[in-house]
Amino acid sequence: MSKFCQKCGKELTNNTTVCSDCGDTTNKGNGTPIITKRDIVVSIILSIVTCGIYGIYWFVCMNNEANKVSGENTPTGGVAVLLTIITCGIYFFYWNYKMGLKLSNAGKMYNKDINDNAILYLLLSIFGLSIVNYCLIQADLNKFAD
C-alpha cells in the first residue's frame, strides 16, 4: 500500500521520514503524520496546577493534531478557542462532536482502531465532563503517535 506526503502529495518510499520532494518531516515512514504523544495524567495535573491555562494549551494542541491526522486545516486551535469564547461556550459542544468525527475518519484512513465517539463527546461536554473528553481524545491521538 502506497503512502503519500501530507504536504505535497508525493509518494513516499518505505521507511522514509522526510519527503524527498518538499523536505516535510510531518510523516512517519508509514505515512502517518508525526504528532506529540502526551501523558494524560500529567496533562490533567498541569491543567489543575495552572488553573486551566495548560488546559487551553492542551485544547489547542489536540485540535491542531486532530487536523493534522485528519487532513483538515480548519479551524486551527487558536480559532477554536476564539470561537468558544465568542459563542460563550456553545462552539465547544460542536467542537467535541466534530473531534469524534475527525478522529474516527482519521482512524479509518490510517488503519487505527478508533471508534466514532462523536455523540459520547457531545454528551460528556453537555454534562460538564469535558476533562473526560480531553482524556479520550488524547488517548485516540496517542494511537497516531505510536
Per residue in 3-47, pLDDT tens? Answer: 556 666 666 666 555 667 666 655 555 556 778 899 999 999 999
Whole-number Å distance between alpha carbons of 129 and 23: 41
Say whether both 43 and 10 belong to one domain.
no
> Looking at the structure, do residues 102 and 130 belong to the same domain, yes or no?
yes
pLDDT recorded at residue 62 = 94
For residue 5, what are the domain limits? Answer: 1-34
DSSP-derived 3-state class of residue 24: coil
pTM for the model stands at 0.77
- Tell me: do 116 and 61 sit in the same domain: yes
- As for how many domains the chain has, the answer is 2
* Mean pLDDT on 103-124: 91
- Same domain, yes or no: 86 and 40: yes
